[in-house]
């Protein structure tokens, strides 16, 4: 039986900062306003892996062949601009 300590295969910390800025502009009539917004995902553009393949089910796993491969990383920085009319 081959046993490994708990937490041997953990991913690095996930650093994903999201930011939202918005500004309201009152219009002529009471209750009417225009809202401009900016949403940014992954503000610091960090390439953090969020899934890996360790091939632990393969026969040659313990010889080091194909030990760890990154399958997916956090998407790159994305921004969205919005405009909203409230009445």
What separation, in Å, do the N-terminal and C-terminal C-alpha atoms of the chain show? 68
Asked whether the beta carbons of 22 and 40 are under 8 A apart, the reply is no
Which residues have CB under 8 Å from 70's CB, separation 6+?
49, 51, 52
The confidence score (pLDDT) of residue 87 equals: 92
pLDDT of residue 57: 62
Closest CA to 69 of 83, 85, 55: 55
Chain centroid, CA 68 distance in Å: 21
pLDDT score of 15: 80
pLDDT the model gives residue 23: 98
Q: Return the pLDDT at 72.
A: 86
Give pLDDT tens digits for 11-65: 777 788 999 999 999 998 999 999 999 999 999 998 888 887 766 666 555 555 5
Q: What pLDDT does 11 receive?
A: 72
């Amino acid at each position: 039986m081959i046993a490994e300590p708990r937490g041997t295969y953990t991913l690095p910390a996930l650093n994903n900062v999201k930011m939202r800025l918005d500004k309201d502009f009152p219009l002529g009539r009471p209750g009417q306003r225009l809202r401009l917004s900016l949403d940014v995902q992954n503000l610091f553009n960090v390439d953090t892996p969020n899934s890996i393949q360790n091939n632990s089910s393969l026969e040659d796993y313990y010889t080091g062949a194909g030990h760890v491969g990154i399958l997916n990383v956090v998407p790159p920085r994305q921004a969205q601009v919005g405009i909203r009319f409230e009445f």
